Amino acid sequence: MNLSLNPIWILMQKEVATSLRSRMALATLVITTLVFIGIPIGLIVGTNLLPGAGLTKGRGIDDTTLQSLLLAYPSLAGLPKNQVVQGLVVSGMQPLFLLIPLLTPLTLAIYSIIGEKQTRSLEALLATPITTRDLLLGKCLAAALPGVISAWVSYGLFLVVAVALVPRAIFTQLLLQPAWLLAMLLIVPAAAALAVLVGLIVSARASDPQAAQQVGGLIVLPVIGLLLGQVTGVVRLSVPITLLAAAVVLALDTGLLTVAVRLFGRETILTRWK
């Protein structure tokens, strides 16, 4: 089929064009990416550039804590204390990359739907031959893809900086972990889909994007929990945990997709959406 006449592709192009002209949507995309990539990379660069900092000297962590961490990662036992601490702290920041596919798609989805409501363009859109399946898919992909791509590019950049600045043993043992690669591969797209679906469902009932974001923003709480768990050493992502988390998110996606499909009927949109 001619891609230029594919309704999903046509809708995605329009969504991207309108998002790029929406200051709020664009700001969220850029700021989220810059902040969440800036923190881990900043930590790597900072701990290398400021050799006098407590972190690089291994201060800020007592021996008991260090021993317990080394028990969890025996392969690091021979490394200098400051390098272990640097690796652990930087590694603990990796959940930030899971916030990118949540926040950006959530914002784009909310602004897409509420934008259509505010300009009252939905009825004209629904009067075209586009199917509601294509409408839903086009909206979802256009909102999800920037978040997924942004997360992957950010993580790739993080790894490039890390491999250049972090000692090799730390990089291979703490940063380049199969669990995190798997999380990037599986959880990032699943989380983006979750954020988009939540955004679409919340927006169907809301008329104010800020209010919708406040409700939809609750989906970041599990990732914040993971971040705190990682930083404090309480939680360490493993391959089984990653697979389980991906399965849970996918199950949530499936449930929310059922709700979204019901909400995306022509009649429901025209007569039930507020």
Partner 1 sequence: MATQAAIAAQGLGKLFDGRPAVEDVDLAIAPGEVFGFLGPNGAGKTTTMRMLAALIAPSSGEAWIDGLAVGEDDDAIRRRVGLLTESPGLYESLSAEANLRFFGRLYGLSDATLSTALERYLRRFDLWERRADRVGGFSKGMKQKVALIRALLHRPAVVFLDEPTAGLDPESAQVVHEFIREIQSEGRTIFLCTHNLDEAERLCDRVAIFRRRIIRLGSPTELRRSLFARQMEVIVADPTQVAHLATVAGAVPGCIEARADGPGRLIVGLPDPDAQTPALVAALVGAGAAIRRVAEVEHSLESAYLELIQQ
Q: Which residues bind partner 1 (CB under 8 A)?
A: 4-5, 7, 10-11, 13-14, 17-18, 21-22, 115, 119-131, 266-267, 270-271
- Distance separating alpha carbons of residues 157 and 36, to the nearest angstrom: 12
CB-nearer residue toward partner 1: 52 or 129: 129
Name the minimum Å distance from CB 131 to partner 1: 7
CB-nearer residue toward partner 1: 131 or 238: 131
Contact 95, 20 (CB under 8 A): no
Name the minimum Å distance from CB 54 to partner 1: 49
Among 29, 56, 39, residue whose Cα is nearest residue 231: 39
CB-nearer residue toward partner 1: 99 or 109: 109
Among 47, 61, 91, 45, residue whose Cα is nearest residue 227: 91
> 101: number of CA atoms within 13 Å, CB side?
29
CB-nearer residue toward partner 1: 14 or 236: 14
At 151, which amino acid appears? A
Name the minimum Å distance from CB 203 to partner 1: 16
- Distance separating alpha carbons of residues 190 and 180, to the nearest angstrom: 14
Name the minimum Å distance from CB 118 to partner 1: 9
